[in-house]
């Protein structure tokens, strides 16, 4: 686990004024990393207030010693930084914190350097933080798995393996897109409403989003050498918001016997900023408390450290902005508010299980949590659950789906053309400065 240190001091302020406002998503305690473009080549940056600082410009000015200097200078994305050991990543955070909080720092006092390195966030384009090699999606929420299972198998919502291992499937890295990218409604095979009739091919009619949290992998492991649960935290670089767009009609028809395929692989959105595990240190929380009659995880998925602080205190919100809301000047309407603390499996358990057969991970690989749903209706992380009539695993017999209703008079069971889904996330704690993950948005075309 990363330590809480002076970089988490809630009183710390920056000489960049916008970082000190109470509404600031990127105060000096956050320091998320990303990749941006301001006309020229992609550059690695850190967000502070309403600015982004180009790390490449700082590296060229000799502000970082190796291995940080090389990891920044020789890469156009975060792969270099994701290849570094925890000590170097902690060093980067401390150095960036010093640069933005000390009014005597080189960046604060060298006006030419400042002009070259500082950009307004509003003026830059954010890109994917890393070219992901492999992407895996899990299914780690007990509430989500129970709700969805009870729609398809009312008598047997959770399969016997679910509480013994984090269920996952290999996703598609090539269709990961950064927040803001438009999402084209997929075509595919759609099951017939009539039992036994042939499917049709056409545009998906039940397009959905899935609220998820992703983790980028650091270091990686050699093929054949599993990562133990005790070591797994060192292999997590940071977290990000993920929208796993899902075509529910296609999914229902294709998912057996091998799991999700084209219903998921047409697009997955990621937020541009990566909040590092170092920044999350004050927000670590106990892992999900299993019910007394739940099975204990097998020894390789159990450790005191994971039980004590394998969780993350992270609030997650989904909003919807339709074309009509846009035309009427309304803001996005909240669909759900939930917590990452409701997840049954921790990110470290997912990574440990993933590599337990010797499968190798590489720096920049992405694992996603699966839909984050909580026990209450308002904490359901997708429309499939939000418009379903049931209470955590107990369907209401004889009922249909109930549409969500909006102030524009519009109703939704699933997403319509022009709908924009906006996911936001933040970590708050009474004794700490709130830090945000930014947003992950995508509009359906």
Identify the active-site residue in 75, 144, 354, 436.
Answer: 144
- For 268-289, b/e burial (b = at least 16 CB within 10 A) is bbbbbbbbbbbbbbbbbbebbe
Count, residues near Mn ion per rule CB under 5 A: 3
CA distances 163 to 67, 139, 142, 394, Å, are 41, 11, 8, 19
Nearer to Mn ion, 233 or 244 (CB): 244
Q: Does 244 bind Mn ion (CB under 5 A)?
A: yes
Which of these segments, 101-109, 151-159, 184-192, 209-217, binds Mn ion (CB under 5 A)? 209-217
- Contact range with Mn ion by CB under 5 A, out of 11-19, 97-105, 130-138, 353-361: 130-138
User: Is 144 one of the catalytic residues?
Assistant: yes
Q: Which of 77, 134, 208, 210 binds Mn ion (CB under 5 A)?
A: 210
- Please report how close the Cβ of residue 351 comes to Mn ion at its closest, in angstroms: 17
Select from 288, 319, 291 the least CA-distant residue to 306. Answer: 288
Q: How many CA atoms lie within 13 A of 201 on its CB side?
A: 1
Task: Give residues with Cβ within 8 angstroms of 412, minimum separation 6.
Answer: 320, 322, 383, 387, 403, 404, 406, 419
Query: Is the CB of 28 or the CB of 338 nearer to Mn ion?
Result: 338
Residue 385 interacts with Mn ion (CB under 5 A): yes or no? no
- What are φ and ψ of residue 293, in 5° steps? -95, 10
Compute the least distance from the CB of residue 205 to Mn ion, in Å.
19
Structure tokens belonging to residue 403: 């549409």
**Which of residues 265 and 302 has its CB atom nearest to Mn ion in the complex?**
265
Q: Give me the residue label for tokens 């999900």.
A: 288
Closest contact distance (angstroms) between CB of 137 and Mn ion is: 5
User: Can you give the C-alpha Rg of the chain in angstroms?
Assistant: 22
- Should residue 137 be labelled a site residue for Mn ion when binding is judged by CB under 5 A? yes
List CB contacts of 26: < 8 A, sequence separation 6 or more: 19, 32, 47, 48, 49, 273, 435, 436, 438
Which residues have C-beta within 8 Å of that of residue 73, sequence separation ≥ 6? Answer: 56, 59, 60
Q: Which is nearer to Mn ion, 25 or 210 (CB)?
A: 210
> Given the complex with Mn ion, which of 284 and 353 has the nearer CB atom?
353
Smallest gap, in angstroms, from Cβ of residue 370 to Mn ion?
5
* Closest residue to Mn ion using C-beta atoms: 244
In this structure, are residues 424 and 340 in contact, taking their beta carbons and an 8 Å threshold?
no
Q: Give the range of 16-24, 64-72, 204-212, 428-436 binding Mn ion by CB under 5 A.
A: 204-212
Contacts of 149 (CB under 8 A, 6+ apart): 156, 157, 158, 159, 393
Q: Is residue 234 at the binding interface for Mn ion, with CB under 5 A as the rule?
A: no
Q: Is 77 in the site for Mn ion (CB under 5 A)?
A: no
Min. distance of Cβ 369 from Mn ion in angstroms? 8
For the CB of residue 286, give the shortest distance to Mn ion in the complex, in Å.
Answer: 25
Report which secondary-structure segment, H or E, holds 211: strand 211-217
250, 262 contact by CB (below 8 A): yes
Least CB distance to Mn ion at residue 166 (A): 13
Residues 205 and 190 sit within 8 Å (Cβ to Cβ)? yes
Interface segment toward Mn ion; rule CB under 5 A; list 84-92, 97-105, 203-211, 228-236: 203-211
Name the one range near Mn ion by CB under 5 A: 22-30, 95-103, 207-215, 297-305: 207-215
Q: Which H or E run contains 149?
A: helix 142-152
Which residues are the active-site residues?
Answer: 144
Interface residue list for Mn ion (CB under 5 A): 137, 210, 244
């Amino acid at each position: 686990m990363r330590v809480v240190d002076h970089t988490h001091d809630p009183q710390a302020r920056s000489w960049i004024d916008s970082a000190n406002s109470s509404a600031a998503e990127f105060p000096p305690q956050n320091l998320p990393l990303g990749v941006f473009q301001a006309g020229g080549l992609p550059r690695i940056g850190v967000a502070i207030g309403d600015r982004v600082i180009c790390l490449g410009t700082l590296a060229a000015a000799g502000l970082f010693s190796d291995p940080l200097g090389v990891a920044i200078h020789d890469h156009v994305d975060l792969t270099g930084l994701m290849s570094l050991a925890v000590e170097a990543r902690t060093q980067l955070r401390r150095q960036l914190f010093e640069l933005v909080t000390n009014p005597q720092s080189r960046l604060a006092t060298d006006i030419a350097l400042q002009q070259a390195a500082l950009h307004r966030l509003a003026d830059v384009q954010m890109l994917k933080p890393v070219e992901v090699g492999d992407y895996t999606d899990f299914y780690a929420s007990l509430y989500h798995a129970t709700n969805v299972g009870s729609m398809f198998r009312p008598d047997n919502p959770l399969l016997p393996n679910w509480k013994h291992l984090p269920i996952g499937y290999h996703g598609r890295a090539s269709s990961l897109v950064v927040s803001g990218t438009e999402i084209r409604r997929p075509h595919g095979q759609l099951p017939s409403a009539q039992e036994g009739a042939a499917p049709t091919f056409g545009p998906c009619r039940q397009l959905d989003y899935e609220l998820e949290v992703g983790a980028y992998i650091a270091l990686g492991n050699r093929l054949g050498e599993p990562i133990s649960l005790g070591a797994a935290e060192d292999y997590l670089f940071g977290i990000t918001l993920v929208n796993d767009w899902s075509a529910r009609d296609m999914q229902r028809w294709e998912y057996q016997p091998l799991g999700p395929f084209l219903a998921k692989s047409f697009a997955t959105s990621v937020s541009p900023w990566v909040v590092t595990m170092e920044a999350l240190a004050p927000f670590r929380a106990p892992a999900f408390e299993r019910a007394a009659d739940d099975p204990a995880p097998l020894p390789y998925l159990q450790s005191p450290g994971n039980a004590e602080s394998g969780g993350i205190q992270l609030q997650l919100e989904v909003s919807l902005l339709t074309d009509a809301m846009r035309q009427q000047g309304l803001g996005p309407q909240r669909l759900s508010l939930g917590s990452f603390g409701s997840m049954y499996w921790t990110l470290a358990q997912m990574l440990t299980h993933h590599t337990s057969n010797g499968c190798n991970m590489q720096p920049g690989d992405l694992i996603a949590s699966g839909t984050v749903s909580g026990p209450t209706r308002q904490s359901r992380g997708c429309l499939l659950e939000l418009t379903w009539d049931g209470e955590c695993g107990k369907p209401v017999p004889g009922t249909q789906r109930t549409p969500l209703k909006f102030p524009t008079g519009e109703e939704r069971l699933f997403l319509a053309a022009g709908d924009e889904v906006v996911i936001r996330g933040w970590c708050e704690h009474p004794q700490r400065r709130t830090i945000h993950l930014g947003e992950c948005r995508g509009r359906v075309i």
